[in-house]
A and B are shown apart, each in its own frame.
Chain A
Amino acid sequence: MDKKVMIQIKDLYKIFGKHPAQAKKLLSQGVSKEEILNKTGQAVGVQDTSFNVYEGETLVVMGLSGSGKSTLIRMLNRLIEPTYGTVIVDGTDVTTLDDDELRMFRRKQFGMVFQSFALFPHRTVLENVEFGLEIQEVDEETRRNKAQESLELVGLGGWGDYLPEKLSGGMKQRVGLARALTVDPAILLMDEAFSALDPLIRSDMQDELLKLESQVQKTIVFITHDLDEALKMGDRIVLMKDGKVVQIGTPDEILTDPATRYVEKFVENVDITKVLSAEDVMLKHQHVVTLKDGPRTALHVIKEFGLAGVMVVKQNRELVGYLSAEAAVQGVKNEDAWIDHICTQEVPTVPPDEPLKQIFPMVADSRDPIAVVDEKRNLKGVIYRGSVLAALAEQGEQMYDE
């Protein structure tokens, strides 16, 4: 691989507290994060982390809450000071820059997008978008024009004069994105940028970012706790747990190879009676729609509960098919009255006692959820890709504790 390394992270640690050396020593002895916090009061944010980000790639950092994703991304532009280790960006060791150099570096290298948008409420949309250039003391006309350009890039050309409070969540994050793009940074840092958006808008934004990416060719570090999003956005995925990297790989590698190893390890270590089956990981009380409901009702349910789609059943809960949000939208548009016309019948199904081992490859193959049905094809529950992983992570954690 002769791709250029854009960001090189080496032996990076963040330990919150006054005695990091003590905590680091304990870490090297294999003491857990929790124990260190209880014993010494030092909170480990990130530990012993090294990896590269290549120019032009989108690297997704994924992990559960508290796994250190935000801490890690903030050490790249030193919003959080690393405790140990180095971050080398485009050949410059960021950790050695003095205040002035760091400011200059932030101005030209990084654009950052935040989970709760972080738009300045006292500035109009345009004033928000031109903020970065204003800080660089670019003259007013140039920065207005540039800001307007990036607003148009995200499809909000006509909104410059509004205050952010007038915008919906999706629009706010477009502004956040435009604000980051206006300074034309080499690297975009996105900390759960889409997590606060509801699923339909979120999927739109993902598509939009993918499109933008092909136009502007930026290196993107993208944080999420959502596997679907990670798979969709990432050229490569870094999986974090307890502040440490547990896996790095392409979406395919993450889904197939390590995942099955995880399962194997899990099966050989745990008492056979505890092995999970479909029943254990399915969501039981998912919202469904029945045949008498129209596409509009279905879309309403999807929106109301923030789903990617719903299962369609007969009155007796016998499974008919699966209706994705897109299909529902399409159905409403075409004024299709019958829900069984627009839903897909090819939804994968498993019996409740199906072992998780069998379910894994199915989840990997399909974007749609899996229906859990009994002998009479009555719907018992639904399995999402995320719910399998969540269940595994939980089990893995329990294994650790034992």
Chain B
Amino acid sequence: MMSNIFNFELPKFPLDKITLAILDFLTEALAGVTKIASNFIETGVEGLGEGIIAVPTLVVIAVITFVVWKFIGRNLGIFALIGLLVTWNLQLWDATIYTIVLVLLSTILALIVGIPLGIWAALDDRVNKVITPILDFMQTMPPFVYLIPMIPFFGLGTVAAAFATMIFAVPPAIRLTNLGIRQIDKELIEASESFGTTPAQKLLKVQLPLAKPTIMAGINQTIMLALSMVVIAAMIGAGGLGGKVLAALTRFRPGEAFEAGLGVVIVAMLLDRITQNVAGRRRKSPAETE
């Protein structure tokens, strides 16, 4: 008798159909934009990726090692050399390059959007008030939530992955640019204004240079988020190391999955160390003798 209460049928709310209708409309409306973006990213990733892959692998490894060694330090140079040789040996070279290119491209997109937004939020309290809760919300979402809405716009593949990655990775760029500018000592801003700086002079000569370490920390975080997303984006058909991991897992080949996973770790450590080093750089007095 009790069960009666629980047995009646409530018609299902057609959320799926409504969503579909909205998405259809948006896809249609934004078709022009998405088309251009698709072409841009597709040619970017493929052109760059294939270009690098076409060069003999050892040459690429040598160049990267040299640059890292020269500009950052011996230890990291050696790490780059060994790490890249390992990926090559494990036959993950193409996937590694694809992943790095996709990460860097998505990061650049994220920075193009994120840094100006961060500056805007820092200079205008109203913008800050709108943006902050949105960023908070974005950062509570698990990454794959960003994948699904991309499919109707871009289909499966690289472009959808790049956009999902950009959106997922943009919050720290906005947040830390904003923070970096806001936390500048008030007297320094007053000093600048007391000399009659225009807003542009103040921004370029005082605020951005002083916020730079914080902005660089934001860029580092953006890159790391982009990498994690690029790996997960294998679920919507992004290739690369994430694709290898996913393929190995679905076919239950833990050994291969481990190899590809190692590739991800190597790329992660390389990108992290390099950006942290660049970020941590401080200006030395020209007068200082070393």
Q: Using a CB-CB cutoff of 8 Å, which residues 142-178 of chain B contact chain A?
A: none
A122, CB-defined interface residue at 8 Å: yes
Chain B, 197-215, contact with A by CB distance < 8 Å: what is the 0/1 string? Answer: 1100100011001101000
Question: Which residue of A107, A115, A121 is within 8 Å of B196 (Cβ)?
Answer: A107
Q: Is the CB of B185 within 8 A of A118?
A: yes
A388, CB-defined interface residue at 8 Å: no
Q: Which residues of A are found within 8 Å of B9, using beta-carbon distances?
A: none
Q: Which residues of B are found within 8 Å of A114, using beta-carbon distances?
A: 187, 190-191
CA distance A115 to B210 in the complex (A): 20
Q: Is the CB of B285 within 8 A of A135?
A: no
Chain A, 51-79, contact with B by CB distance < 8 Å: what is the 0/1 string? Answer: 00000000000000000000000100101
Question: Which residue of A115, A122, A135, A183 is within 8 Å of B197 (Cβ)?
Answer: A135
CA distance A151 to B71 in the complex (A): 35
Q: Is the CB of B196 within 8 A of A103?
A: yes
A106, CB-defined interface residue at 8 Å: yes
Q: Is the CB of A161 within 8 A of B285?
A: yes
Chain B nearest CB from A45 CB (Å) reads 15
Question: Which residue of B190, B205, B286 is within 8 Å of A118 (Cβ)?
Answer: B190
Q: Is the CB of B188 within 8 A of A120?
A: yes
B283, CB-defined interface residue at 8 Å: yes
Q: Which residues of B are found within 8 Å of A79, using beta-carbon distances?
A: 190, 193-194
Chain B, 93-137, contact with A by CB distance < 8 Å: what is the 0/1 string? Answer: 000000000000000000000000000000000000000000000
A110, CB-defined interface residue at 8 Å: yes
Q: Is the CB of A110 within 8 A of B286?
A: no
CA distance A112 to B190 in the complex (A): 9
Chain A nearest CB from B45 CB (Å) reads 36
Interface centre among A104, A111, A135, A162 (most CB of B within 10 A): A135
Question: Which residue of B192, B196, B209, B285 is within 8 Å of A162 (Cβ)?
Answer: B285
A49, CB-defined interface residue at 8 Å: no
B287, CB-defined interface residue at 8 Å: yes
A27, CB-defined interface residue at 8 Å: no
A116, CB-defined interface residue at 8 Å: yes
Q: Which residues of A are found within 8 Å of B252, using beta-carbon distances?
A: none
Q: Using a CB-CB cutoff of 8 Å, which residues 114-173 of chain A contact chain B?
A: 114-116, 118-122, 124, 131-132, 134-136, 159, 161-163, 166
Chain B nearest CB from A266 CB (Å) reads 38
Q: Which residues of B are found within 8 Å of A162, using beta-carbon distances?
A: 285, 287-288
Q: Which residues of A are found within 8 Å of B197, using beta-carbon distances?
A: 103, 135
Number of interface residues of A (CB under 8 A): 33
Q: Which residues of B are found within 8 Å of A105, using beta-carbon distances?
A: 196
Q: A121-B210, A163-B283, A166-B285 are in contact. Are A104 and B196 (CB under 8 A)?
A: yes
Q: Is the CB of A163 within 8 A of B285?
A: yes
Interface centre among B193, B201, B212, B284 (most CB of A within 10 A): B193
Q: Is the CB of A118 within 8 A of B283?
A: no
Q: Is the CB of B195 within 8 A of A183?
A: yes
Chain A nearest CB from B290 CB (Å) reads 14
Q: Which residues of A are found within 8 Å of B283, using beta-carbon distances?
A: 122, 163
Q: Which residues of B are found within 8 Å of A161, using beta-carbon distances?
A: 285-287
Q: Is the CB of A124 within 8 A of B285?
A: yes
Chain A nearest CB from B289 CB (Å) reads 11
Chain B nearest CB from A90 CB (Å) reads 16
CA distance A111 to B205 in the complex (A): 18
CA distance A229 to B50 in the complex (A): 72
Which residue of B has the minimal Cβ distance to A136? B196
CA distance A183 to B197 in the complex (A): 13
Q: Is the CB of B195 within 8 A of A132?
A: yes
Q: Is the CB of A135 within 8 A of B201?
A: yes
Q: Is the CB of A134 within 8 A of B194?
A: no
Which residue of A has the minimal Cβ distance to B188? A118
Q: Which residues of A are found within 8 Å of B198, using beta-carbon distances?
A: 103
Q: Is the CB of B285 within 8 A of A120?
A: no
Q: Using a CB-CB cutoff of 8 Å, which residues 181-222 of chain A contact chain B?
A: 183, 189
CA distance A161 to B198 in the complex (A): 26
Question: Which residue of A102, A120, A124 is within 8 Å of B286 (Cβ)?
Answer: A124
CA distance A135 to B206 in the complex (A): 11
Q: Which residues of B are found within 8 Å of A112, using beta-carbon distances?
A: 190-191, 194
Chain B nearest CB from A128 CB (Å) reads 9
CA distance A65 to B57 in the complex (A): 68
Q: Is the CB of A131 within 8 A of B195?
A: yes
CA distance A79 to B195 in the complex (A): 11
Q: Is the CB of B187 within 8 A of A115?
A: yes
Q: Which residues of A are found within 8 Å of B288, using beta-carbon distances?
A: 162, 166
Q: Which residues of A are found within 8 Å of B287, using beta-carbon distances?
A: 124, 159, 161-162, 166
CA distance A354 to B194 in the complex (A): 49
Q: Which residues of A are found within 8 Å of B209, using beta-carbon distances?
A: 120, 122
CA distance A136 to B193 in the complex (A): 12
CA distance A122 to B187 in the complex (A): 15
Chain A nearest CB from B204 CB (Å) reads 11
Chain B nearest CB from A105 CB (Å) reads 8
Q: Which residues of B are found within 8 Å of A135, using beta-carbon distances?
A: 195-197, 201, 205
Which residue of B has the minimal Cβ distance to A158? B287
CA distance A97 to B128 in the complex (A): 29
CA distance A166 to B288 in the complex (A): 9
Q: Is the CB of A106 within 8 A of B196?
A: yes
Q: Which residues of A are found within 8 Å of B192, using beta-carbon distances?
A: 131
Q: A135-B201, A161-B286, A166-B285 are in contact. Are A118 and B187 (CB under 8 A)?
A: yes
Q: A79-B193, A135-B197, A162-B287 are in contact. Are A120 and B210 (CB under 8 A)?
A: yes
B residues with CB within 8 A of A: 185, 187-188, 190-198, 201, 205-206, 209-210, 212, 283-288
A-B contact pairs, 22 of them (CB 8 A): A79-B190, A102-B196, A103-B197, A104-B196, A106-B195, A107-B196, A112-B194, A118-B185, A118-B187, A118-B191, A120-B209, A122-B210, A122-B212, A122-B283, A124-B286, A131-B192, A131-B195, A135-B201, A161-B285, A161-B286, A163-B285, A166-B285
The 9 A-B residue pairs whose C-beta atoms are closest, nearest first, are A107-B196, A161-B287, A106-B196, A112-B194, A118-B191, A118-B187, A103-B196, A132-B195, A163-B285
10 more CB-based (< 8 A) A-B contacts, given A106-B196, A159-B287: A79-B193, A103-B197, A105-B196, A106-B193, A107-B195, A112-B190, A116-B185, A120-B206, A131-B195, A166-B288
